[in-house]
């Protein structure tokens, strides 16, 4: 079983913001595979299903971004999964809008949600898909930027990158992480 976690903040106030790209990817993945993410469990909204023959848990932590690790740890413990079973999808301000980066392991890179997950799972050795949301303008505070919505000029690119991130998850499940890295990085 694989646990696919999309990071974001709960509530309508944050829907469509840069920080909620992980939720957007999971929404599209759920739609593609007829998985309902509607069970409140382990401080998350959870959906169970099958993608490319692999049992999956789709999870959207409801702890707010900076405490995402609490939910991820609870899910991993309940389903008796290890970091090898974990895929995390999240926003990255160091990548241009529409770009993806897939890695088999790595640091948090300054992302507080990832810092908290690494702290709670006790490892950096899990697959992550970073979705580019664009560099913060110099005049903006970082928190204000990641909680802002995409401008009209970026909407097509972000929609395409969310679709590509779904394709990347499917490739990881079917062919492995290296194949996804070769195709999408």
14 marked as binding residue: yes
34 is an annotated ligand-binding site residue? no
| CA gap 162, 116 in Å, rounded | 23
64 annotated as belonging to a binding site for a ligand: yes
Q: Which of 19, 42, 120, 139 is catalytic?
A: 19
Based on its alpha-carbon atoms, the radius of gyration of the chain, rounded to whole angstroms, reads: 15
Task: Say which residue the tokens 């990832």 belong to.
Answer: 114
Residue 152 parent element (H or E): helix 152-175
Q: Is 139 designated active site?
A: no
Q: How many CB atoms lie within 10 A of CB 170?
A: 17
Known binding residue 66? Answer is yes
**DSSP result, 17-36:** BGGGHHHHHHHHHHHHTT--
Residue ranges for the known binding site are 14, 64, 66, 112
Which residues are catalytically annotated? 19
Residue ranges for the known binding site for tRNA are 14, 64, 66, 112
């Amino acid at each position: 079983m694989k646990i696919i976690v999309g990071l974001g903040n709960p509530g309508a106030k944050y829907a469509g913001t840069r920080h909620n790209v992980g939720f957007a990817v999971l929404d599209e993945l759920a739609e593609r595979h007829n998985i309902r993410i509607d069970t409140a469990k382990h401080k998350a909204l959870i959906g169970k299903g099958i993608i490319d023959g692999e049992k999956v848990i789709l999870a959207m932590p409801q702890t707010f971004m900076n405490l995402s690790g609490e939910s991820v740890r609870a899910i991993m413990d309940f389903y008796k999964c290890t970091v090898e079973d974990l895929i995390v999808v999240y926003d990255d301000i160091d990548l241009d809008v529409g770009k993806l980066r897939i890695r088999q392991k790595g640091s948090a890179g300054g992302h507080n949600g990832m810092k908290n997950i690494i702290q709670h799972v006790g490892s950096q050795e899990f697959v992550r898909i970073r979705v580019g949301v664009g560099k913060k303008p110099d005049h903006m505070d970082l928190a204000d930027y990641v909680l802002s919505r995409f401008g009209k000029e970026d909407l097509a690119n972000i929609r395409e990158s969310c679709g590509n991130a779904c394709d990347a998850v499917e490739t990881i499940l079917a062919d492995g992480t290296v194949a996804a890295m070769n195709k999408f990085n």
